Structure formats: C-alpha cells, structure tokens
Chain A
Amino acid sequence: MRALLLPVAALALATGAGLTSPASAKAPEMGGVSITRGGGNVNTAAGRNSVADQAVSTIGGLARHGGRAVTLGGGNRNLALGKGSAAFQDVTTVGGTAIGRRAQSFTAGGHNLNVARGAFATAGQSVTTLGGTAIGRGAQSFVAGGHNRNVASGRFSEAQQQVLTMGGTAMGRGAVDKVFGGNNQNRATARGAFANQQVVTVGGQ
C-alpha cells in the first residue's frame, strides 16, 4: 500500500506547480487564409447543331503571416450532347501566394471532364491552372492537375482536351515543392470517334 502511495504523492508534488497555474490556450499557430475556388463549372451543348462556349477566369489570393492560400480550379464539365453540337470550355485559374514561416500554397486544377456524346459532336476543353507561390522558412507549394477524363462516345464525334498545370514556387529554408499531374483518361468508344488529350504539368520553379 505504502509502495503505491509514495509514487503517486511524488508525482503530485512534481507537478504541483501546475495546480497554481491557470488554464491557458496557446496563441494561434497559423496565419491568414485565402481561398480561391474557380472550378465546378458546367458547359453543355444539348440541342441539335447547338454551340456552347464558356470561359471562366479566377484570380486570387494572398495569405500572409504564415498562412494558407488555396486555389481550386478543377472539377469542370464540358459536354456536347446533341447531334452535331459543339461545346468549348476555357478555364483559367491563377493563384495563390502564401508568405511567412510554414506558409502553404495549395493549387488544384484537375478532375475535369470533356465529353462528346452526340453523333458528329465536337467537345473542346482547355484548363489552365497557374499557382502557387510559398515564401518563407518551411514553406510548401502543392500543385495537383491530374485525374482528367476525355471521352468521345458519339458516332464520328470528336473530343479534345488540353490541361496545363503550372506551379509552383517554394522559396526559403526547408521549402517543399510538389506537383502531381497523372491519372488521366482518354477514350474513343464509338464508331469513327476521335479523342485527343494533352496534359502538361510543369512545376518546381
């Protein structure tokens, strides 16, 4: 019994200073936040011989004091569904700059879909994502531009997709720069269909 009580008492004495210290919360560890979201757009040409054209540009953002700049330009859909229809989509996303110790710049431009489903339909998609700059000790720049799909499923249809992802700049002691642009799909499934896909990912400035 005494053998058990003594260690407990010693432990309580060792941490006795904590009894008098008030409860405290640490100061915020991270800096400002800048979120730029330009993706998730839909462009559809559904009618016979119809034409749909869409251009979306998003420019932002700056996060200081070791903060985080998030730029999301992907998740876009371009669909040519009608017979003889044409759909063209141009998405440009430029961002973000994060400055300070352990600053993070995250840029995502992938997960895009380009489909020519109608007979003799044409679908063209161009997605350009430029980002991000992270400056400071232990700064991180992360760019993802992959997971894109290009499908020509209508008879004698044509689907063309160009995805360009450029990033990033990470400056400072222990800075890290990562770029991912893989896992893309290109398919022509119908008679006389033509699918063309170009994916370029450039990083590590």
Chain B
Amino acid sequence: MIEVRNINKTFHVPHEVKALVDVSTKIAPGEVVVVCGPSGSGKSTLLRCLNRLEHADSGHILIDGIDVLDPKTNINKLRAEVGMVFQSFNLFPHKTVLDNITLAQRVVRKRSKSDALEKANMLLKKVGIQDKSGAFPDNLSGGQQQRVAIARALAMDPKVMLFDEPTSALDPEMIGEVLDVMKTLATEGMTMVVVTHEMGFAREVADRVIFMDAGAIVEVGTPEHFFVNPTHERTKLFLSQIL
C-alpha cells in the first residue's frame, strides 16, 4: 500500500535540521501503524511527506504504486485518496459542520449535493455527532471538532488515513471519544498511519509500532515486542519516560 524508500528531508529555516535521514518502511493494506518517538524525532515530517505536504528531498514514496515525489504525478488526485487528520483539527471555521464535510466531496469528487449530504450525514452518525450538523466548528468541543475532521477526511473515501497527533490538542476527557472512532476505523480494515503519544492505543490497536529518533527509524515491531522487550537503549529510555 505504502512504500517509503530512503527518504531524506532537511529543513533550512530557521536553522538547518535533518528531519528525516534515510527512512524506509512498508505498510501493507489494512495495516495500522503507530509512529512514536520524542518530539523533534521526525515522525510528523514522515507523515506529512506521505501526502507531500512536505516535499522529501530525496528517495521514493509509493502509494498504491503511484510515485508521490514524481512532479508528473497529479498530487491533488493522490491526496484525495489519502485522508489526513491534524493535531489542531483545521476545520474550516466559516463553514458549518455539514459544509466542512461536503465541500471537498463536491469540488474534488464532483459529487452531487444530495450525494455529498447523504455521505456527510452517514459519517456524522458514524462519528456520533449527527445532531451537530448545522453548528459552526468554533461552537464544538475539541473532541467533537476532531471527529468532524475525521468525517471530513473519510468523506473522500480514502484508501489510507494519516493521523498527525490527533489527540494531542484535546482535553483528557475527550481523548477517548476520538480514539474510539479510530479504533472502529481500524477494525473496519482501514489502512492507518498514526503519529501519537497514546501508548494505550498503540498497544491495543496497532499491528506495528515504529519508533523514531533524530530523524531515523530506530526500532520497528509488533506492540508486544515493542512494549515488552524493546531491543534498543533509546527505545527503552523513551518508554521509561512516557509509561
């Protein structure tokens, strides 16, 4: 489904930082991969490279056989297949919940208004906030906003969902409702790449955990392997700090 081969990314502003160093991995269809690591380890950059929100300097990224970094690739078409959920939700504040979910369906997928609305209502029901369809994002709680954001991404019928620290900006009591939605998605067989600090989620839902540090993948393994007997010192230190 996703193949990452030797990608590198260096930020030059405000000062030179090697965000990704020779990163390679493969993600199979239906797999749920949790990427964790200390802040600044490059996990968000890796995720953002997958749909070219960041442009990797070198290497190859293939999603469903399509070369993400090839300038000839229709990036908009590709992005429609790759859903993304952000830490700060990034809902469109000038549009209602319903309009947030129908906008891209209509302008990108060219769906009719009724089809888009039907899809939106179905997804709102799925994420448990069908009663908020007419509300504006600013009037929703963080947890509700993030669930709308998930519904907005799902409305495009993506093949892959990328989650960039989806619960980091939430009050603790709202984390559960968002994770529940993500768990449901996982059980339905969605391919997911999740950058998160929620180790409970990783342990319970992930097929594989990738641990990154200083822009490189340090350790990859099943949750059992990762949490019970990690091999690298750096991993052990990280786990001892957060568990």
The answer to whether A binds B is: no
- Residues on A lying within 8 angstroms of B by beta carbon are none
